Structure 1
């Protein structure tokens, strides 16, 4: 069976969920697992692209998950293992009626049988559980307003899609496969963060006046935090080197403290070298930082 065929089966489930277990081998289940997560990540990228076009509307919303940095292996435990265990137990385990002990307990209490109701309304139930699973992730954000809630289905789009695909794995393959899918999904995101952002150097400016380079830090590193710089008599920067430094601290050091707020928790290495004797003005540096990072006037986010 090809990848396209497996995606077709997943799409048919999403359009009309059912709990008939797929009669496939262990190796075919593995293929469904990896196909489902790959498909999930492709759809998530689509939402990320869509959100990039909505950046003027979403720039104020700060993701609380970016507030703290952890060592890579600790991040694996905290983000890849614990959340799937908790969330899959809550949102996917009870999708099978015989494993929904709350409904079965109510059925026993009222001496009735809800299995027919459950089967008849499974489509709505899957959508409801997946929607709640996605919308719970709204709690990751702060500085919200009414626009945020209007955009909520898009902001949490990746989680909504993931919830549906995890539901497919749970109902068509088994709970363990949903758990593995969630593990793999979160692990893939951490690895993407590691490969794309962590210790990846990029040039912000490199012209006849100045060279400014930054290296992103996505995970806690065993390096000291320090910043050194040299200025011209006029106060312009001749050179600047910040190591393992929070961008917020750098902003507070060079500009009026508490006047600007950096969205999320950008930690980086930064190197600035002026190619002229006059140095590089601090105002020009701020313009460069505003071009590449999301900064707000403090009064805007209070």
Structure 2
């Protein structure tokens, strides 16, 4: 996993449009699971910041769109939205176009712009207030970083892999939130 993490960090510092030529399924699954673990750990590291933001009264995290969805819709519908529909649509919008930027002078900025836009679109999960807008870079930091991770796997292995990573990542957190409803 250390190798995958080092490769990921190096790539995020200097993204290039170069596919990984190793098509071995075991190799790709190993990298996939490493990226999934790295994605989850990254979010877990950032999560305490949200607690600080909420406890300081700056943003009410209970007004998050997911909280509202959980109150209004059946869990199977929420699961479908978060684990199937959102990953497919978001990857088609934010990752599919990456390979259109063949020129290395355009690819790097495009890579970063798509990751940032992916993060920023998630600000709509919050009730928009002045504080939410001011704190937007922090509030969408997990999604922005995830956008970079998804861009990495998309370029290296293809669009289906970024959809799968996105779906699995969302499923992990959705299932945790469902589980927390039991207690």
Aligned to 1:190: 174
How many correspondences in the alignment?
Answer: 178
- Deviation by residue 1:84-137 (Cα, 9 ceiling, x = unmatched): 11100000001002xx7xxxxxxxxxxxxxx43xx2221111110010010011
2:39 pairs with 1:36: no
Picking from 151, 159, 172, the partner of 1:175 is: 159
TM-score under structure 1 length normalisation: 0.56
2:94 pairs with 1:91: yes
- Structure number with higher helix proportion: 2
Aligned to 1:4: 2
Whole-angstrom distance in 2 between the partners of 1:154 and 1:121:
26
Q: Aligned-residue CA RMSD in angstroms?
A: 1.6
Cα distance, 1:189 vs structure 2: 0.8
Residue segments in structure 1 that go unaligned for 5+ positions in a row: 101-114, 201-302
Aligned to 1:299: none
Aligned to 2:21: 23
Whole-angstrom distance in 1 between the partners of 2:48 and 2:121:
22
Whole-angstrom distance in 1 between the partners of 2:38 and 2:148:
12
Cα distance, 1:65 vs structure 2: 2.5
2:59 pairs with 1:59: yes
Over alpha carbons, which structure has the higher Rg?
A: 1
Cα distance, 1:72 vs structure 2: 3.0
2:72 pairs with 1:72: no
> CA distance change for structure 1 residues 28 and 149 in 2, over 3 Å: closer, same or farther?
same
- Deviation by residue 1:207-254 (Cα, 9 ceiling, x = unmatched): xxxxxxxxxxxxxxxxxxxxxxxxxxxxxxxxxxxxxxxxxxxxxxxx
Name which of structure 1's ranges 66-75 and 13-22 shifts more when overlaid on structure 2. Answer: 66-75
**Greater RCO structure (CA 8 Å; 6+ sep):** 2
For residue 11 of structure 1, give the secondary structure of its aligned residue in structure 2.
helix
Residue segments in structure 2 that go unaligned for 5+ positions in a row: none
- 1:245-260 aligned at under 5 Å gives the runs none
For residue 69 of structure 2, give the secondary structure of its aligned residue in structure 1.
coil
Would the aligned equivalents of 2:59 and 2:132 in 1 still touch at CA under 8 Å? no
Would the aligned equivalents of 1:127 and 1:164 in 2 still touch at CA under 8 Å? yes
